Amino acid sequence: MSAFGSVFMPEMAISWFDGSNWSESKVVPSDSLNLHAGAHVLHYSSTCFEGLKAFRHEDGSVKIFRMDRNIARMAQSSELLALPKLDQEQAAQMITSIVARFASDVPEPPGSMYIRPTHIGTEPAIGKAAVPTLESCFYVLLSPVGDYFSGGDRALRLLIDDKNMRCPPHMGMVKSGGNYAGALQPTMKARAEFKADQVLFCPGGDVQETGAANFLLIDGDEIITKALDSTFLHGVTRDSILTLARDMGMKVSERQLSVDELLERAGKPGCEAALSGTAAVLTAVGTLIHNGKEYNVGNGGIGETTLKLRRALNDIQWGRSEDKFGWLRDI
């Protein structure tokens, strides 16, 4: 299996904003994006993206998971980046129709079709470092993916960074390219020095998230995770897992979690931690590394509750249990 996200469907849906209107959407080859080298996005990072999935069910139908959430988040990202206003209705139509076009390429579970809507500032204007782009482009790329964690029998190692931020606090809830480039050096350093898989950013000792996934602490019957604010990305998977947990009768505490409390709780038997995200679904965290010391979370392996919640989510996505929250939509 090739690396996640490195295989693309040959065509994508695309629409251009000319300063006043969005063009009618078109389907074009995925390698045919024509940009002026002075395009705003290439200089001033006026870009945001989304990640969602379409799943194949046993009856052959294809369903998209919580698309409304991703489109709303992209509209918000666009606004916070001063990109032109996204046409949400058109975006929804472009996503469903490009998935329908490639419906026969949607892999069987545990695979899926990863959908990557992207919105970029295209105005050729290198003098606009402090001025928004007037023109933009919205496109929807598709990438069939396997099980992101086919090696998912290993719990992750996270380096706790209690000094640095993943991104500026007002950019946390924006799914924008620059935030990821900025988190690369700390993450590479954590890999090289501590064999860590990811950095858990905890500025000022406040547990936030990793480079591309939300963090959940599962202590017995209770899930503890940071309450929504502007400093981190509001994951659709996070929301889905919390909804499922409440439905199972678990206690969900959305509140501040300090590094001290995290390390103290992590050591208790039965404690679990996990990362949530569209690609990762729910992935167990087995080890926390802080100030050169390693701490097991619970027994350091994959927790039962993590597996149970992950399965509950997958069962809905794959059509194996009732879609009781109305999360799936037809193409």
Ligand X SMILES: *Cc1c(COP(=O)(O)O)cnc(C)c1O
Report the interface residues with ligand X, using CB under 6 A: 51, 175, 209, 212-214, 233, 235-238, 276-278
Q: How far apart are alpha carbons 197 and 194 in whole angstroms?
A: 9
Q: How far apart are alpha carbons 40 and 203 in whole angstroms?
A: 31
Can you say whether the dihedral through the CA atoms of 131, 132, 134, 140 is positive or negative? positive
- Nearer to ligand X by Cβ, of 233 and 297: the residue is 233
CB of 238 to ligand X, least distance (A): 6
CB of 114 to ligand X, least distance (A): 10
The two three-digit tokens of residue 326, written as one number: 């109305």
DSSP state of 107: P
Structural contact between residues 123 and 254, judged by C-beta atoms closer than 8 angstroms:
no
- Nearer to ligand X by Cβ, of 54 and 125: the residue is 54
CB of 28 to ligand X, least distance (A): 26
CB of 171 to ligand X, least distance (A): 10
- Nearer to ligand X by Cβ, of 17 and 215: the residue is 215
- Nearer to ligand X by Cβ, of 125 and 328: the residue is 328
- Nearer to ligand X by Cβ, of 66 and 123: the residue is 66
* Per-position b or e across 178-213, b if 16+ CB within 10 A of its CB: bbeebbeebbeebeeebebbbbbbbeeebbbbbbbb
CB of 52 to ligand X, least distance (A): 7
- Nearer to ligand X by Cβ, of 121 and 172: the residue is 172
Write down the number of H helices and E strands in the chain.
7, 16
CB of 49 to ligand X, least distance (A): 9
CB of 275 to ligand X, least distance (A): 8
Q: How far apart are alpha carbons 109 and 145 in whole angstroms?
A: 10
3-state secondary structure of 157: strand
CB of 293 to ligand X, least distance (A): 26
Structural contact between residues 288 and 294, judged by C-beta atoms closer than 8 angstroms:
yes
Neighbours of 155 (CB within 10 A): 24
- Nearer to ligand X by Cβ, of 44 and 65: the residue is 65
CB of 197 to ligand X, least distance (A): 15
- Nearer to ligand X by Cβ, of 125 and 156: the residue is 156
Q: How many CA atoms lie within 13 A of 205 on its CB side?
A: 5
User: How many residues belong to the chain?
Assistant: 331
Structural contact between residues 226 and 213, judged by C-beta atoms closer than 8 angstroms:
no
- Nearer to ligand X by Cβ, of 25 and 210: the residue is 210
Neighbours of 132 (CB within 10 A): 16
The two three-digit tokens of residue 295, written as one number: 């701490």
* Per-position b or e across 252-266, b if 16+ CB within 10 A of its CB: beeeebebeebbebb
